[in-house]
Amino acid sequence: MKNKVTKAIFPVAGLGTRFLPATKSIPKEIMTLVDRPLIQYAIDEARAAGIKEFIFVTSRGKGALEDYFDHAPELESSLRKKKKKALLNVLKNTNMDSGAIAYIRQHKPLGLGHAVWCARRLIANEPFAVILPDDVIAAEKPCLQQMVEAHAETGGCMVAAMEVPPVKSSAYGILDVREDMGSMVSVKGMVEKPEPGEAPSNLAVIGRYILTPQVLTNLTQIKQGAGGEIQLTDAIAQEIEADRGVYGYRFRGQRFDCGSKAGYLQATVSFGLARDELKGELMDYLDELATTRRAAQ
């Protein structure tokens, strides 16, 4: 199946406990890198890849996310009166057309596979994307767009992939590579969060997927996997067993793990440095910090 990918699922039901107390009252996807919420980066990447329908799998306490994508008439008219055009444009970028966005509740935290399965009725019989907003990827050509282009050639299922240090394997889905073709690998197995000694490679799945609807069918009968959760990795692995193509795509870009504090801080610095209006001041500060640190050693 090689039809166009126009729908994306954003699993955003997680509690974000690693960022407590902030996430006590704000969804972690609303946390900002410079001035844009994590979710905005994910949406922009999806739009660039040609996605037209955005499906959010949410949970209790995520109301702020729904509000974020709504129009803000008062704010807009006040900016219009003050002739703040640039800010108005920034705001417009956050508006979604009516009907382009859907929210589905995952009532119990049963795992990523279960979250994706919750959106099954909105997908129907076509390939779809999954974007994990915690994985922020800075790239000249947005990661999902790279994948959509590669997928047009391969069909089947495709996951973003990246080499990780072997000691980190238990934080990722890990690919067992059949054939390495450079930017693309064909996959003969996938294991969710293996211990370092048991990982079939050091090629990890990063949170961008293009999947066939068959994966949703697989999820219907899949058993609990790693961590007692319904794992998306296991449902994709079933496609390999059924002899249908699964590919890993080594994207060009830098990935930040914004699900961890260290990764989030690194992303903040990196995205700050990428802004013309902030670069100078931020760089001066970092230089000063490095000099002070060296002097203290």
Binding site for ligand G1P (CB under 6 A): 112, 132, 135, 172-173, 192, 204-207, 232-233, 259
C-alpha 151, offset from chain centre: 17
Smallest distance, Å, CB 295 to ligand G1P?
A: 38
Beta-carbon count within 10 A of 3 CB: 10
Do the beta carbons of residue 219 and residue 230 sit within 8 Å? yes
Q: Between residues 27 and 79, which has the closer beta carbon with respect to ligand G1P?
A: 27
DSSP letters spanning 56-100 = EEE-TT-HHHHHHTS--HHHHHHHHHTT-HHHHHHHHTT---TTS
Dist CA 58 CA 50 (whole Å):
23
Whether the upstream peptide bond of residue 21 has omega within 30° of 0, thus cis, is yes
Nearer to ligand G1P, 43 or 132 (CB): 132
Q: Closer CB to ligand G1P, residue 90 or residue 110? A: 110
Establish how many alpha carbons lie within 13 A of residue 273's alpha carbon, considering only the half-sphere containing its beta carbon: 11
Give me the least distance between CB of 164 and ligand G1P, in Å please. 9
User: In whole angstroms, what is the distance from residue 244 CA to residue 196 CA?
Assistant: 28
Q: How far is the CB of 87 from ligand G1P (least distance, A)?
A: 33
Tell me whether residue 79 or residue 132 sits nearer to ligand G1P (CB atom).
Answer: 132
Q: Tokens 């500060």 sit at which residue?
A: 285
Cβ closest to ligand G1P, residue 8 vs residue 132: 132
Non-local (6+) Cβ contacts of 263 within 8 A are 256, 257
Which residue carries 């047009």 as its tokens? 152
Closest contact distance (angstroms) between CB of 83 and ligand G1P is: 43
- SS3 state of residue 140: coil
Residue 14 CB, shortest distance to ligand G1P, in Å, is: 7
Nearer to ligand G1P, 54 or 256 (CB): 256
Question: Shortest gap between Cβ of 232 and ligand G1P (angstroms)?
Answer: 6
**Closest chain position to ligand G1P (CB):** 173
Q: Is 50 left (phi over 0), alpha (psi -120 to 50) or beta?
A: left
Q: Which is nearer to ligand G1P, 79 or 115 (CB)?
A: 115
Residue 139 CB, nearest distance to ligand G1P (Å)? Answer: 16
> What is the C-alpha to C-alpha distance for residues 99 and 146, in angstroms, rounded to an integer?
26
